[in-house]
Structure 1
Amino acid sequence: MELGPNTDDWLADTRTSYDTVAASYAELTRHLLDETPEERAVLALFAELVLAQGGGPVVDVGCGTGRITGHLRKLDLDAFGIDLSPGMIDVARRDQPGVRFDLGSMTDLTLADASVTGLVAWYSLIHIPDGEISSVLTHFRRVLRPGGPLLLGFHVGDESKLKTEGYGGHPMKVHVHRRQHDQMIEWLSEAGFAVETHKTLTSAESKLGGIILARRRP
């Protein structure tokens, strides 16, 4: 089946791909944060902002195997994760016992309005087509409390490529979209966010990784 414009197609391809690689993905990415002090610092800053808001639930959207969710909990946040892939969720529940992980899609978040104090999407927007980004960010704004921080990680660039294998040579079928800061900031502004800071990092996570920290406008 060729990837087409139908939303269900690319979502199904993404779900199946990450079901296939879930176990190897967990092993290969388990210690990435140990190698990325700048990313740990960004996550620590995000945690400080959430705690300054009085704490409360934090959702890791597109959580994968839950490694960022687990790190956020070590930073004293009440973090839980949501992911499209049942295989990834199974690994997350195995690796982070006692932590809440829900099956779901960022294209149709079922969380209640203003129900989380903070939201992280750590390199999880990279498979979302341009035409769906605004809708996804609108969902993010809806579930965040006013003033709540949003942390995004993404690949910086201008190209989109079809990834056909990964994480130990397993077959995959996902588009990986690279974007510039200016485009991401424009989408965020249109969706009701105020960007506070952004930067580009070179790390184990991404050779050219973008980080944006924003807040939900009232």
Structure 2
Amino acid sequence: MEPEIVQRAYDTVARDYARELPDTRADAGLDLAMLDEFITRVGDGSLLDAGCGAGRITRYLADRGCAVEGVDLSPGMIQQARAAHPDVNFAVASLEDLPHEDDSFDGVLLWYSIIHTPPARQPDIFDEVARVLRPGGHLLVGFQAGTGVRDVSGAYGRFGHDVVLERYLFSADEVAAWIAGSGGREVARLVRAADGAETQAQAVVLGQWAGQD
């Protein structure tokens, strides 16, 4: 999808999104275990929650002592994030053009933030992540696992919103290949079956860039 379409959709639904998903109660324990391992590996280093939405995972990281900031394409989402988490720094930015210097972070999180970008543009995202990561830095990527594209425009229909939104499904092998193509390596992966109201399998891939002592 084109970024302006995604931005428009999330600007439209931002308030309802923030109300429906205020924290990590909807997240599976297995997924949070991967997130906790990521936090352990980064330690007291600096973190970027890239595609932070309304900031619920940014809050999770901050509450565990992480020095974290968040960016998102949607000004509406950033407005919600700032209102809910005034002690955290948030900014509007594209995953393909992050407003940070080279080697700025010890860890970058892409928690379901690559899912609206088609495969052809994914290498641009991972190259940009590699640019802002310090040597030895870690990347954690969460996404729906599978193949093809799903129309998720109706997900917010119950709130009275008429938006255009598509979700791309990827395999863990694809994501690992994008990490490798940007100079990193896969450390671990989780692929699990759909649970509860989920309609697709879910995956999390942990990567690291060279330079760890």
TM-score for the superposition, normalised by structure 1: 0.89
Identify the residue that residue 48 of structure 2 maps to in structure 1.
59
Shift of 1:169: 4.6
Matched, 1:210 2:203: yes
Shift of 1:32: 4.0
Residues paired across the two proteins, number: 207
Identify the residue that residue 113 of structure 2 maps to in structure 1.
124
Distance 2:98 2:65 in 1: 24
Identify the residue that residue 18 of structure 1 maps to in structure 2.
10
The 3-state SS of whatever aligns with 2:122 is helix
1:64 touches 1:89 (CA, 8 Å); kept in 2? yes
1:123–1:78 Cα change, 3 Å: same
Structure 1, residues 43-72: CA drift from partner, whole Å, max 9, x if none?
Answer: 111111011xxx232000000000000000
Runs (5+) with no aligned partner, structure 1: 4-9
Identify the residue that residue 70 of structure 1 maps to in structure 2.
59
1:135–1:91 Cα change, 3 Å: same
Q: Which amino acid aligns with 2:173?
A: D
2:24 touches 2:56 (CA, 8 Å); kept in 1? no
1:64–1:184 Cα change, 3 Å: same
**Which stretch shifts more, 68-77 or 170-179?**
170-179
Runs (5+) with no aligned partner, structure 2: none
Identify the residue that residue 99 of structure 2 maps to in structure 1.
110
Distance 2:61 2:42 in 1: 11
Q: Which amino acid aligns with 2:202?
A: G
TM-score for the superposition, normalised by structure 2: 0.91
Structure 1, residues 59-107: CA drift from partner, whole Å, max 9, x if none?
Answer: 0000000000000011110011000000000000011111100110001
2:190 to 196, 199, 205: 199
The 3-state SS of whatever aligns with 1:64 is coil
1:96 to 85, 96, 102: 85
Shift of 1:14: 0.4
2:24 touches 2:60 (CA, 8 Å); kept in 1? no
**Which stretch shifts more, 40-49 or 146-155?**
40-49
1:170 to 158, 161, 164: 161
Identity within the alignment, %: 31
Distance 1:144 1:33 in 2: 29
Shift of 1:154: 0.6
Shift of 1:35: 4.9
Distance 2:205 2:84 in 1: 28
